[in-house]
Structure 1
Amino acid sequence: MTDLTPKQTKILSELENARKAVKTDDYSMSIGELINLYRDEEIKLDPAFQRLFRWEDHQKTKLIESILIGIPIPEIFVAQKSDGTWHVVDGVQRLSTIYQLVGVLENRDPLILTTCKYIPSLEQSSWKDLPVSTQREFKKSKIKINIILTENSDEAQYELFQRLNTGGTRLGDQEVRNCLILMVSPDFYEKLNSLKDYENFKDCLKLKDHKFEKEFHMELILRMYMGCQGVVDYRKYDPINSTLLSDFIDKETINLIKNADFDNFIKIFKRTFDKLKPALAKKILPEIQQRSRRIFGCF
């Protein structure tokens, strides 16, 4: 056997450790089985993930038509929790479309198909309009499920979601981060989410609609949270540039979820904006002006 160089030995050692941190299993399941798992609440489409379900009807229709004519669709990735439930980390749009078609997706009306390339008669059809034989064939169609069993580490699940967030509409940094936060601590997510609509805070912002849609105001809250806690070692990230900023917020968010007092921050946050709003006659967080190089707000 060829002698290994010190660098090759180190690579093999790091590779072995990395593989121990993540274990996977995979097998094919029928759509009917996946529907039953969803009904039994054994497969989860978390609320934050569902809010990212943005496919247009023509995209949903294309997926359904592909399944009906036998075109394979990409595999679904799920993270298995300690209670045995599966949380979808990649494939939310695909599963949501299937569940909406058959009428089981929560808070969604059943899907009405639009124009189809290969089966034009499907246009304006719903699940109940399909022949029973077609419904049965659809439910027997197989999808590959990749099950991720990570080490008991929030960082590992955080990293996996980022790597697997590959499909559908391009998500903003904070939208992805919201899903990651939800995976790590649903309680923290709900508290953070409650602050974004605090009236006095929103009245102090001047953001365009697409910034709100991408949840940028939630990122601003996280930035304030990090500054208030005084526990972030910024030297680790020196210098922080735009490329590293998102990674910086991700890593420090995990740390703060574990170690900081968010309930106390909520009081500070509300007290701050309760004082700022009446004290200032105009909006205090001006929209960035790239050409004039104005500093973006107070965060």
Structure 2
Amino acid sequence: MSIEIIQASLSSTDTRILKLYNQIKVGELVLRPFFQRKLVWKKIHKYHFIETILKNYPFPEIYISTGSMDTSKLTSIDWVVDGQQRLSTIYDYISSEGDFKSQNVVKPFNELSSAEQEIFLSYKVVVRDLGKINIDTIQEIFKRINNTEYSLNTNEKMNASYHNNSFMIFCKQLVDEEIDLSQPFVQDNNITLVSLVDRKKVSNIFKKVFNDNDIRRMNDLQFIMTLVISLELGYFNRRGEIDNYLDKYNEDYPSATQIKNLLLPIIDFIERLSLNDKSYWFNKANIFTMIIELSKMDYSNINISLLKERLEYIDEENKKFNSTHTIIDEFSYGLEQYFMYAKEAVNDKKSRIIRGEIFEKILLDCYN
């Protein structure tokens, strides 16, 4: 890691919102480079922030850096180092997108008078330009700024530290269909890419598993890394195994294609089950167990209608168990034990093994 010492003081400029909006719109200002976390503001935070601007109150400065420069076309792309939440909120408000598409908390931009719109667009944002500095320095600045603001969790710090890691980029593709794969690092390191069609398939499954807060806080990323490692190594117990993989497979993850070819057909199989979006099987522990156990067998011989029937039966048994603590378990799968261990943390090896053994019985019972 090469951290620069910035010798000169950093200049700041007052930039109108209109200019920032247009830079974002045409791609000259990138809101979410690799080191950035996902958006964490809730609706109320966004509405309150827009009110701040409408009342012409000040807010903290934005940090940007030069991402890339094309000397032949005389163009450049800047990265937002700090201020992603604020600029995203401004962009969505003006465009009537996201949480501003249909709301009555703050007056919509298109309902402001021409004079009010002009005042809003003329609001000056303090922008501090870090200039052209290396990615490690940008990353260090980002982490230091965020030490005193909305605290980063372990997953977000990991994302900032390993933004250009081959193993992480492969895993990110499986939970983030909007990931930017045009970054030079991706192209230069020949990282195994997952097509947009396949990324959508996988993310459609995991959207049923993770809530908005999980996604904002990158819990889905930690889950998929654990899943990928388990597909390769089997069940493991240590959180440190993720760190080992990140360190070992920084430049190249040789098992990526193998894992992709293993996982995608399983995702197709789960889709074919047509389970209810609110199904018991779309919680973290259960989908984890289902995918790992399916990866161990030839599931092409499973009677998919029968498996769907059994899974729906178990779903109903779980509801009974939660309300009365009694179940029938007419197939003697050991459901009471499964229900108990499914409530425990996904990263506990003993829980995973017991859930896996019981789920294997269910699958074998549904073989043609």
TM-score grouping bracket, smaller chain normalisation: 0.5 to 0.7
Counterpart-to-counterpart distance in 2, 1:145 and 1:86: 12
1:94 to 86, 91, 100: 86
* TM-score, normalisation: structure 1: 0.60
**Against the structure 1 CA distance between its residues 164 and 29, is the aligned structure 2 distance closer, same or farther, given a 3 Å change threshold?**
same
**Against the structure 1 CA distance between its residues 225 and 26, is the aligned structure 2 distance closer, same or farther, given a 3 Å change threshold?**
farther
**Against the structure 1 CA distance between its residues 181 and 196, is the aligned structure 2 distance closer, same or farther, given a 3 Å change threshold?**
farther
**Aligned counterpart, 2:145:** 164
**Against the structure 1 CA distance between its residues 113 and 25, is the aligned structure 2 distance closer, same or farther, given a 3 Å change threshold?**
farther
1:264 to 258, 262, 266: 258
Counterpart-to-counterpart distance in 1, 2:115 and 2:211: 46
Maintained 8 Å contact 2:165/2:251: no
How many aligned residue pairs are there?
Answer: 252
Maintained 8 Å contact 1:27/1:146: yes
Is 2:47 aligned against 1:61?
A: yes
**Aligned counterpart, 1:131:** 113
Counterpart-to-counterpart distance in 2, 1:22 and 1:259: 37
Q: Secondary structure at the match of 1:71?
A: coil
Q: Which has the higher contact order (CA 8 A, sep 6+)?
A: 1
**Aligned counterpart, 1:140:** 122
**Against the structure 1 CA distance between its residues 69 and 18, is the aligned structure 2 distance closer, same or farther, given a 3 Å change threshold?**
same
Q: How far off is 1:82 after superposition?
A: 2.0
**Against the structure 1 CA distance between its residues 289 and 184, is the aligned structure 2 distance closer, same or farther, given a 3 Å change threshold?**
closer
Q: Give the residue type in structure 1 aligned to 2:57.
A: I
Q: CA RMSD in A?
A: 4.9
Is 2:51 aligned against 1:74?
A: no
* Percent identity of equivalent pairs: 19
**Against the structure 1 CA distance between its residues 184 and 89, is the aligned structure 2 distance closer, same or farther, given a 3 Å change threshold?**
farther
**Aligned counterpart, 1:275:** 295
1:253 to 236, 246, 259: 246
Q: Secondary structure at the match of 1:258?
A: coil
Q: Give the residue type in structure 2 aligned to 1:222.
A: M
Is 2:221 aligned against 1:218?
A: yes
Q: Give the residue type in structure 2 aligned to 1:142.
A: K
Q: Give the residue type in structure 1 aligned to 2:224.
A: I
**Against the structure 1 CA distance between its residues 82 and 69, is the aligned structure 2 distance closer, same or farther, given a 3 Å change threshold?**
same
Counterpart-to-counterpart distance in 2, 1:256 and 1:25: 38
Q: Secondary structure at the match of 2:14?
A: strand
Maintained 8 Å contact 1:288/1:297: no
**Aligned counterpart, 2:272:** none
